[in-house]
Amino acid sequence: MSTRIRVLIAKPGLDGHDRGAKVLARALRDAGMEVIYTGIRRTPEEIVEAAIQEDVDLIGLSILSGAHKKLCQKILNLLKEKEADIPVILGGIIPEEDIPELKEMGIIEIFTPGASLKEIIEKVKDIAMGRKV
């Protein structure tokens, strides 16, 4: 098994604003990780399928359209169904009050506007290395 951290960055739903996702993907790659970016408008099924096939250590979702609750729940359910134990983090415009519910659902970490790349990279490393151990 490769020691390099493998991450899937995905944009579920219909929103096409992908600046955050792409900038983060590049930053993670510059930090030495292997990054797969799905592109925009992927269904939960496509994302889970890609994550399993690519054997990633972590899935990073980017959602800005307000559809985060439904989309996250779907993705987490599918992962459970497929018995894929892959941690999921989320970034985007996520109202403060939705955060407890999303964490309860099983989203490990949530980053909102203003989060620094450094902070996210550190968190991704921690979570992914935890899974590798």
Partner 1 sequence: MFEREKIHVIEKSKKEWEEKKVERTLSRFPERKKEFVTSYEDEIERLYTPLDIKNLDYIKDLGFPGEYPFTRGVQPTMYRGKLWTMRQYAGFGSAEESNKRYKYLLEQGQTGLSIAFDLPTQIGFDSDDPMSEGEVGKVGVAIDSLKDMEILFDGIPLDKVSVSMTINSTAMILLAMLMTVAKKQGVPYEKLRGTIQNDILKEYMARGTYIFPPKESMKLIVDIFDYGSKNLPKFNLISISGYHIREAGANAVQEIAFTLADGIAYVEAAVKAGLDPNEFGTNLSFFFNAHNNFLEEVAKFRAARKLWARIMKERFGVTNESAMKLKFHTQTAGSTLTAQQPLNNIIRVTIQALAAVLGGTQSLHTNSYDEALGLPTEQSVTVALRTQQIIAHEMGVSETVDALAGSFAIEKLTLDIEEKAQKYLEKIDEIGGMVNAIEAGYPQKEILNSAYKAQQRIENKEQIIVGVNEYNSDKTEKIDILKVDEEQEEKQIEKLKNLKNQRNNSKTEESLTRLKKAATNGDNLFPYIIECVENYSTVGEITNILKEVYGEYRESTTI
**Region from 24-32, 52-60, 79-87, 101-109 binding partner 1, contact rule CB under 8 A:** 24-32
Stretch that binds partner 1, among 14-22, 51-59, 76-84, 101-109 (CB under 8 A): 14-22
d(CA 32, CA 74): 30
Q: Which residues of 42-70 are buried (b: 16+ CB within 10 A; e: fewer)?
A: bebeebbebbbeeebbbbbbbbbeeebee
Q: Does 14 bind partner 1 (CB under 8 A)?
A: yes
Pairing verdict, β 58-63 and 6-10 = parallel
CA distance 48 to 59: 9
Of 41 and 80, which CB lies nearer to partner 1 in the complex structure?
A: 41
One of 51, 71, 75, 78 touching partner 1 (CB under 8 A) = 71
Considering only residues 4, 80, 82, 118, which one is a binding residue for partner 1 as defined by CB under 8 A? 118
User: How many other CB atoms are found less than 10 A from the CB of residue 113?
Assistant: 10
List of residues contacting partner 1 (CB under 8 A): 13-19, 22-23, 25-27, 29, 35, 37-41, 43, 65-71, 74, 93, 95-97, 112-114, 116-118
